[in-house]
Structure 1
Amino acid sequence: MAWAFGWLLLVTAGFLLARRPNGTNRSRWAGFSLPLILLLAALARLLPALWLPVGAGYDIESYRMVTDALLGGQEVYNAALGRHPYLPFQMYIMGAMAWLSAATGLPYVVAVKLPAVVADVALTGLIYKAVIGKMAERDGHELPDYKRDGGERAAAAYLATLYALNPISLLVTSYHGQFEAITLLLLALAWWFWQREQASRSAGALGLAILNKTWPVVFLPIIFIRLPGWKARVRAVAVALGVPVLFTLAYILLFSPDVGFMLGRALTHRGVAGYWGPGAILNPLATVQPGLQPAVDVLFALRNGLLAAAALFALWWTRRQSALDAFLTLLLSLFVVTVGFGIQWLVWVVPFALLAGEDRWLKAYSLAGAFMLAVHLFGLHMIPLLSEWLPAAADWTLRLSGLPAWAIVVAWMIHRCRTVTVAAAPAHPRPDPLAH
């Protein structure tokens, strides 16, 4: 297991050493081709995915319960005892990987991580293409890479490399074993189609992202208020929500699950409370100062209201910004106020911050987020080192490990509210990846 921690440090060092393109290094970045960046992203993730014999214990066990039920012809939600808090889509990817494992002898924990590894590599390529994807002014066709401006290629290579070597993405995909990268790829595709003024395709990709994990629904109001006219808005909502609704209805008709039990966690899952933000401070303090417990109870009782208020504020504040800027601000605003949290959620911000050119803030956030993930994964979920080394302080350590990342999120959100313009922007603006 020591090598896994060493690999994390090595990849993180590469992430930190990557410098913005400038007059002295621009040509080097411009010469860093997409195939090399994709190879770098694949190697960074595949080596620990192949050699690390574990993932987050609870999640891998849950995946096994799901795939055992699926391949055994059982109704998954009942057989998995509520351990699949998602709509019926990811289970089939898991099932395919379980079949691959049985057919080839590949360890299950390795096979189940592979789809997210592939998605992460694809997302690396999408970031590169999105940055370099300016259109030829004369004929409207994309220019081949070798004809593009060196500065544009350098920016694309730099930002894609920051994702290829991002320690949060590495930890979530190859160490934890979460499939967040699949959802992020679908959501990034929704934004990509939106940028290219393909609203129906954007809504379709968003619908698949929502089907995979429900949280991408927060992107829907952003595109809703930017579409011209109610006809286009109704169509986008119908497609984006129709995809998960139709898939879910098909599953219900085929397998007759307990619908309330099936949809309960998928539509209401809000993470584990008390391990992020103010709750991470108040909750452990209340164990030694019982007088603080009412404050903890009030904070937890207000969790839905806080999320709704943060979302409404972000939607209003960013109403004249690009969809990308608005979405990044919305995610940060939710991270500021949320009481519940899942450690894999830390990766949500990463690709969209890079697409928005927020690499400087992202570097600080990624270090703090990787610290939190490492404490949780190496201290509890993969190896229970904290309970062995610091049994009396294990819970405190886990809770407080997220405070640096949360503090950066708060500062980042304040910075964006002060500096990102609210001047009128076109419905489908082209990104300026290093403008911030």
Structure 2
Amino acid sequence: MSRSAKVFRSKWLLLAAIIVGVGIRLLAATRGHNYDVDSFIIVADLVDHGRNVYASTSRYNYGPIWLNVLHAIYRLSSRDVVTFRYMLAGFLGLVDVGIFIILWRKFRRTTAYLFFFNPISIIITGYHSQFDNLAILLGLLSVVLLGDHLDKRLSKRELLGLFTLGLSLMTKHILFAFPVWLAVKQKGSLRKIAVVIVPISVFLLGFVPYWHEGKQGIIQNIFLYESWNNAYFYKWFVPMGIQLIFTRKMIWISLLAFFAFVFRRRNAPESLLLYTGVLIATSPAIANQYLAIVIPFVAANTNIFLVLYTLIGTWYLLVDHHGLHISSLQHIINIDQGVWYTILVCMLCTALVWIAWRQGIVAFLKKGVLEAKIQLGYEE
């Protein structure tokens, strides 16, 4: 087969994969919808009537970009709720395509496919229709623009990257501590300061048009908002003596800062994915949609623990009443939601430890095996 024929075939296979991936996500949307989609409809309708969302509902906890996206989709769907749901799932499916393409170019083809066809990603995008993937896509675009030139004056391209990171925060602020991860890599105090200040400033400025009427809602429902305080990492991995001194959020922030230094030598795209792993593994709150945030990380760092994370997380989302709620499967493994979350957090934590200190762990195990053999007389 000629080179041109191979390229042609590869492009068609890529297009087919994209069509199938988006199609599966739309298929997941046929299972109905949940509370979050109802909230999105409320928000879109408020914007449609010219209302300040932050002053009108407590069911919106994000920056202003997403409310405008919702309104655009709502209008394109002719304000029909069913059409809106499918268009929303389709839009988020295209966002996943964007992540797929960046992973393809910056990592490996295998990484891209493992992300795009991961069942957790498919279920959360198609059924749950949560939009963490949009914030991650913007974050990935930002680090692609930033590159890894750490000791030069910030270029226009790098400033655009920092602005894009601010847009990610303005969409959904899951990368709130990532500027610190970038800052520890930089050489020179001005670069360190700029990398932190620019995206955070963009994020904060996004609220200016809504502040006068909606400041109370912005403060309460965004800056002071707390999700489910289930804190599985805190309960199971933090000693009780430390829990008496430090709150779950303090531990979370401390670990995000600590791992910024652990992974400081990784390039920017790798760092972003590792950041999401630390973010969710040590989070003071876990909910179904958070399980998909780490899927690019899972795809790029596949090991036995992350394979188990995918398998267990997929089964949980298939049977959970906030997931695809497939009743015929629910009786097979009937355990509490908290047990599922605990297992998944354990898988993430173990995977992170393995990724961060693999060489030391392997050397320690080899030394232990050698000493055991000597004591048992297998080695001279």
Equivalent residue number for residue 40 of structure 2: 63
Cα 1:275–1:203 change in 2 (3 A) is same
TM-score of the superposed pair, with normalisation by structure 2? 0.78
Is contact 1:33-1:157 (8 Å) kept? Answer: no
Cα 1:31–1:71 change in 2 (3 A) is same
User: Is 1:200 equivalent to 2:159 in the alignment?
Assistant: yes
Equivalent residue number for residue 277 of structure 2: 332
CA distance in 2, matches of 1:31, 1:274: 50
Once structures 1 and 2 are overlaid, which stretch shifts more, 57-66 or 401-410?
Answer: 401-410
SS in 2 for 1:112: helix
Is contact 1:32-1:157 (8 Å) kept? Answer: no
The 5-angstrom pairing of residues 34-113 of structure 1 reads: 34=11, 36-49=13-26, 52-80=29-57, 82-102=58-78, 107-113=83-89
**How far off is 1:90 after superposition?**
0.1
Percent identity, aligned pairs only? 19
Cα 1:78–1:374 change in 2 (3 A) is farther
CA distance in 1, matches of 2:289, 2:312: 14
Cα 1:160–1:261 change in 2 (3 A) is same
SS in 1 for 2:178: helix
**How far off is 1:79 after superposition?**
2.5
Is contact 1:128-1:157 (8 Å) kept? Answer: yes
For 1:174-194, what per-residue CA distance to the aligned partner results, in whole angstroms no more than 9, with x for missing partners?
021111221111011122122
Equivalent residue number for residue 137 of structure 2: 185
Cα 1:400–1:275 change in 2 (3 A) is farther
CA distance in 2, matches of 1:420, 1:326: 19
For 1:134-153, what per-residue CA distance to the aligned partner results, in whole angstroms no more than 9, with x for missing partners?
xxxxxxxxxxxxxxxxxxxx
TM-score of the superposed pair, with normalisation by structure 1? 0.69
CA distance in 2, matches of 1:300, 1:61: 39
For 1:362-385, what per-residue CA distance to the aligned partner results, in whole angstroms no more than 9, with x for missing partners?
433222222333333xx2355495
Q: Could you say which structure has the greater relative contact order, defined with CA pairs below 8 angstroms and 6 or more residues apart?
A: 1
Equivalent residue number for residue 153 of structure 1: none
Is contact 1:280-1:399 (8 Å) kept? Answer: no
User: Is 1:370 equivalent to 2:326 in the alignment?
Assistant: no
User: Is 1:418 equivalent to 2:374 in the alignment?
Assistant: no
- Of the three residues 304, 318, 332, the one matched with 2:249 is 304
Letter in 2 for 1:264: Q
Equivalent residue number for residue 260 of structure 1: 216
User: Is 1:403 equivalent to 2:361 in the alignment?
Assistant: no
Q: Which runs of 5+ in 1 are unaligned?
A: 1-28, 132-155, 282-294, 422-436
SS in 1 for 2:206: helix
Equivalent residue number for residue 380 of structure 1: 322
The 5-angstrom pairing of residues 143-158 of structure 1 reads: 156-158=108-110
**How far off is 1:110 after superposition?**
1.0
SS in 1 for 2:207: helix
Cα 1:159–1:85 change in 2 (3 A) is same
CA distance in 2, matches of 1:299, 1:31: 62
Equivalent residue number for residue 148 of structure 1: none
**How far off is 1:203 after superposition?**
0.8
SS in 2 for 1:84: coil
Aligned length: 344
Is contact 1:116-1:180 (8 Å) kept? Answer: no
**How far off is 1:69 after superposition?**
0.7
Is contact 2:43-2:60 (8 Å) kept? Answer: yes
CA distance in 2, matches of 1:98, 1:59: 15
Letter in 2 for 1:343: N
**How far off is 1:347 after superposition?**
1.9
CA distance in 1, matches of 2:273, 2:101: 20
**How far off is 1:47 after superposition?**
4.1
Letter in 1 for 2:34: G
**How far off is 1:271 after superposition?**
2.8
Q: Which runs of 5+ in 2 are unaligned?
A: 1-5, 150-156, 361-380
SS in 1 for 2:294: helix
Letter in 2 for 1:348: I
**How far off is 1:310 after superposition?**
1.1
CA distance in 2, matches of 1:45, 1:366: 19
CA distance in 1, matches of 2:200, 2:159: 12
Is contact 2:120-2:310 (8 Å) kept? Answer: yes
Is contact 2:37-2:129 (8 Å) kept? Answer: yes
For 1:339-390, what per-residue CA distance to the aligned partner results, in whole angstroms no more than 9, with x for missing partners?
3112211222222444xx41235433222222333333xx23554959xx78
**How far off is 1:280 after superposition?**
8.8
Cα 1:31–1:303 change in 2 (3 A) is farther
CA distance in 2, matches of 1:64, 1:70: 10
- Of the three residues 237, 243, 247, the one matched with 2:206 is 247
CA distance in 2, matches of 1:59, 1:309: 30
Is contact 2:317-2:324 (8 Å) kept? Answer: no
**How far off is 1:104 after superposition?**
7.9
The two structures, once aligned, show a CA RMSD in angstroms of 3.4
User: Is 1:350 equivalent to 2:332 in the alignment?
Assistant: no
**How far off is 1:121 after superposition?**
0.9
**How far off is 1:326 after superposition?**
4.0
Cα 1:163–1:331 change in 2 (3 A) is closer
Letter in 2 for 1:273: N
The 5-angstrom pairing of residues 109-258 of structure 1 reads: 109-131=85-107, 156-195=108-147, 197=149, 198-252=157-211, 256-257=213-214
SS in 1 for 2:95: helix
**How far off is 1:336 after superposition?**
3.5
Equivalent residue number for residue 370 of structure 2: none
CA distance in 1, matches of 2:264, 2:80: 51
CA distance in 2, matches of 1:366, 1:300: 34
CA distance in 2, matches of 1:270, 1:36: 43
CA distance in 1, matches of 2:49, 2:359: 53
SS in 1 for 2:187: coil
CA distance in 2, matches of 1:408, 1:113: 28
CA distance in 2, matches of 1:222, 1:65: 36
